Amino acid sequence: MNHLRLIASFLLALALCACASSPSASQKADDGHTAQSDPVETDTRKPETESASLSPLHADGPQLMDDRNQPVVLQGYSTFGINYKPEYVNENTFRFLKEEMGSQVIRLAMYTADNNGYCTGGDQEQLEGLIDKGVQAAVATGQYVIIDWHILSDGNPAQYQDQARAFFQKVSRKYAGNPAVIYEICNEPNGSDVTWPVVKSYAEAVIPDIRANDKNALILVGTPQWNQAETEAGKDLLKDAGNMMYTVHFYAATHKDQQRQDLSTAYDQKLPMFVSEFGITEASGNGALDEQSGQTWIDLLDQDKISRVAWATSDKDEASSIFKPGTDPDSPSLSDLTEWGQWLRKVYTGKDTSDAKDSQDTSGSGQKTADEKSGDSGLEATLKQSNTWNSDGMTFTQFDLTLTNHSDQPVTDWSETLNFTKDITIDQSWNGDMSASGSSVTVKPGQYHSTIQAGETVTDIGFIAKSDGVVKER
Ligand code: IDC
């Protein structure tokens, strides 16, 4: 266990404790609370863009952290090859992924060799345009974005090393200093002669090109055997590469105990890992879903606080597509989700897609989403998970509640019930009166906010839930 992490969690808990102790402290504490909250969305260095609200990320030992040294676990979706399915590189699709599917990071997979890839006849200008469109769309929807040099049939990254260097020089110059942008310099090295030293020397050539433009960006590096030789990297880390992590990929119907064991071994080696692609089909991307093995993987990633990105945002007729064939990229909806898409939504948000009825008309474009509960009073409640940490074998999760009165009358003596995926107790709370019962929490006005005026939005109510594992809103 990383001591800094423990200390940081302890300090956070202390600060929040101080917040909740008296009403006046509580008001003051909102500042402290805001300052320490959402690792994903509170940095306001450059308020003019959404990306400025994303905290710069860095690896600290095996753990991804925000700029306040709070652990961050990202979850998100990979595009399909952008040369195969350019239409899903689209702001409406990305917004749907964020608002309905629990996404915080989009991976832009640009094949280098397969099917008119970047290095095998693809239109490079067009592909770079798509990368830019994808970066802008991710930033506009408040998500991190991974630029993925998607080697696959070209198993040795050295094969197109010169092109890779020119590409990463260009994009890192373009996005220098943008905290949203993450560089993945080779998708899945593979082939019997593609050993870790081979991949490592490729990384040693490409990383300095990125560092010349951006000293701090997070860089992801693959490992041999389709990203399953992480323990090799764990024995022989890159030196002087700065802020970087190593990628691990799995397809849960094919990769099971052995690969999970390898991940645990690498975790014990303190290897910083990022799962930039996973599925629960077979490694072919097709076949039956293995939900059980998938859940075992997710539990392991939760335990080790490892970020994860699912394959793929596509309507191709195969089991690893999240959308059914023919899904409109401009207005995807919950009814377009395949079995895999539904599984991911459940795992990422805790929500069953049986609530699809409620938001059938949600096109993901700023309309009311299923997350928002609006009662007869006209009061709309939105809950956001802003932080989570473990201490003494328990999981602590900070939730922030936003209440908006959409009616033209003041609302008094309101009450909101929130449901969670696990039983919880309230460890700390501020600016509201919370009572937990099993997996539900009822929030009523405390000393403040007993009346919410017409049109008013209240954002300073929150609590810390204590549970025996990861908890999400249901
Ligand atoms: C697969 C696609 C499939 C396509 C194939 C070759 O799902 O439709 O025909 O690529 O281009 C990976 C790769 C990823 C694969 C995926 C599933 O990173 O490109 O996509 N997979 O096979 N690694 C393990 C599995």
Residues 140 and 287 in one domain: yes
pTM more than 0.75? no
Residues 305 and 405 in one domain: no
The total number of structural domains in the chain stands at 2
Q: Provide the pLDDT for residue 350.
A: 95
Residues 248 and 284 in one domain: yes
Residues 262 and 409 in one domain: no
Pocket probe mutation, ligand 1, options 78, 152, 226, 249, max atoms within 8 Å of Cβ: 152
Residue 284 CA to ligand 1 center (angstroms) comes to 6
- Give yes or no for residue 318 having a pLDDT over 70: yes
Pick the atom of ligand 1 nearest to 284's CA. Answer: 22
Pick the atom of ligand 1 nearest to 227's CA. Answer: 23
Q: In angstroms, rounded to a whole number, what is the distance separating the alpha carbons of residues 341 and 19?
A: 40
Q: Provide the pLDDT for residue 376.
A: 52
- Give yes or no for residue 443 having a pLDDT over 60: yes
Q: Provide the pLDDT for residue 23.
A: 30
Residue 303, in any domain of the structure: yes
Give the contacts of 43 (CB within 8 A, at least 6 positions apart): 52, 53, 54, 55, 56, 66, 67, 179
- Give yes or no for residue 47 having a pLDDT over 70: no
76 close to 312: Cβ distance less than 8 angstroms: no
The domain containing residue 439 runs over which residues? 373-467
Task: Select the more confidently predicted residue: 394 or 204.
Answer: 204
Residue 204 CA to ligand 1 center (angstroms) comes to 26
* Arithmetic mean of pLDDT, 328-336: 97
Domain boundary among 323, 355, 387: 355
Percent of the chain predicted with pLDDT > 90: 66
Residue 241 CA to ligand 1 center (angstroms) comes to 29
Q: Which two tokens stand for residue 303?
A: 């335990």
- Range scoring the smallest mean pLDDT among 160-164, 225-229, 455-459: 455-459
The beta strands (E) that lie in 229-378 are given as 244-251, 273-279, 308-313, 373-374
- Give yes or no for residue 433 having a pLDDT over 70: yes
Catalytic status, residue 456:
no
Residue 363, in any domain of the structure: no
Residues 231 and 350 in one domain: yes
Mean pLDDT, rounded, of the chain: 86
Q: Provide the pLDDT for residue 155.
A: 98
Residue 186 CA to ligand 1 center (angstroms) comes to 14
Q: Provide the pLDDT for residue 429.
A: 83
145 close to 106: Cβ distance less than 8 angstroms: yes
Q: Provide the pLDDT for residue 326.
A: 97
Residues 347 and 384 in one domain: no
Residues 275 and 150 in one domain: yes
Catalytic status, residue 318:
no
